[in-house]
């Protein structure tokens, strides 16, 4: 799980995103896949423009370029600091994720997140550390009622390598424009695996990590 290269492409992708280029336009311009562009520019503010963009005429503000350069430097430093992830590294990160956002109720592992990278990381670890019955691995989606359910299911099915037939009935949230404007087009997914034994083992691992920091009673 090493960090990929393409530093120049990442910087240029972020510059173009700041100029309101779409993911598809950036991918075509740089000759890379759209999914890579999506990850590179995920924290860059994007304001769509109604008219066609003049690619050569628009230049980002110098302060914005300085920000992008600093972020890229931080990424390079982080890659050198972290290096290649070991199986233990993956386990510890996944346990931290579950400690923060997983279900603590005895009987089932339930982990939910809207971030596809974190969801894929978690299910990858789960499969590596435990002998799962893949037929019992379920997914449930939380998706606003006006979004495309079929597309969202296909997205998460491919990402998590879970057949569409193993998706539980989704929760379709009522749309309320006064509450939220930025919505996840593919919704939030939950990984569900019913197993008291595996859930207890995961919780025991978390306890082994956190017990040295327990507050004396």
Answer whether 20's CB lies under 8 Å from 28's CB: no
Q: For the whole model, what pTM was predicted?
A: 0.70
Sequence-ordered list of residues with C-beta below 8 angstroms from that of 92, at least 6 positions apart, any chain: 209
Domain end (from 82, 105, 131): 82
Classify residue 1: in a domain, yes or no: no
Domain end (from 58, 82, 106): 82
Query: Does one domain contain both 78 and 92?
Result: no
Taking the CB of residue 186, how many other CB atoms lie within 10 A of it? Answer: 20
Least confident of 19-23, 49-53, 94-98, 115-119: 49-53
Give tens-digit pLDDT for 72-98: 999 899 999 999 999 999 999 999 999
Q: Domain of 161?
A: 87-213
Residue tagged 């120049």 (tokens): 8
Distance between CA 35 and CA 23 in Å, rounded?
A: 9
Query: Does one domain contain both 74 and 97?
Result: no
Answer whether 191's CB lies under 8 Å from 111's CB: yes
Give tens-digit pLDDT for 51-62: 555 555 567 778
Grade residue 136 by pLDDT with cuts at 50, 70 and 90: very high
pLDDT at 17: 87
| Overall number of domains in the chain | 2
CATH of the domain at 187: 3.30.1330
The mean of the pLDDT values for the chain is: 87
Query: Does one domain contain both 156 and 202?
Result: yes
- What letter would DSSP give residue 181? S
Classify residue 113: in a domain, yes or no: yes
Classify residue 36: in a domain, yes or no: yes
Structure tokens at 93: 């990160």
Grade residue 181 by pLDDT with cuts at 50, 70 and 90: low
Answer whether 149's CB lies under 8 Å from 186's CB: no
Domain end (from 82, 103, 122): 82
């Amino acid at each position: 799980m090493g960090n990929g290269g393409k530093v120049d492409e990442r910087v240029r992708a972020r510059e173009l995103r700041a100029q309101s280029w779409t993911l598809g336009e950036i991918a075509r311009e740089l000759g890379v896949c759209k999914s890579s562009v999506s990850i590179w520019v995920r924290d860059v503010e994007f304001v769509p423009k109604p008219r066609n963009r003049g690619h050569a005429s628009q230049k980002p503000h110098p302060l914005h370029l300085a920000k992008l350069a600093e972020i890229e430097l931080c990424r390079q430093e982080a890659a050198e600091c972290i290096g290649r992830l070991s199986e233990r590294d993956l386990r510890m990160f996944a346990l931290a994720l579950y400690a923060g956002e997983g279900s603590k109720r005895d009987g089932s592992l339930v982990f939910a997140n809207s971030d596809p990278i974190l969801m894929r990381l978690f299910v990858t670890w789960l499969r590596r550390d435990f002998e799962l019955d893949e037929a019992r691995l379920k997914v449930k989606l939380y998706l606003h009622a006006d979004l495309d359910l079929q597309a969202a299911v296909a997205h998460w099915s491919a990402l998590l390598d879970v057949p569409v037939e193993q998706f539980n009935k989704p929760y379709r949230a009522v749309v309320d424009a006064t509450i939220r404007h930025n919505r996840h087009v593919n919704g939030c997914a939950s990984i569900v695996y019913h197993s008291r034994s595996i859930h207890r083992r995961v919780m025991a691992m978390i306890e082994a990590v956190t017990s040295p920091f327990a507050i004396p009673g």
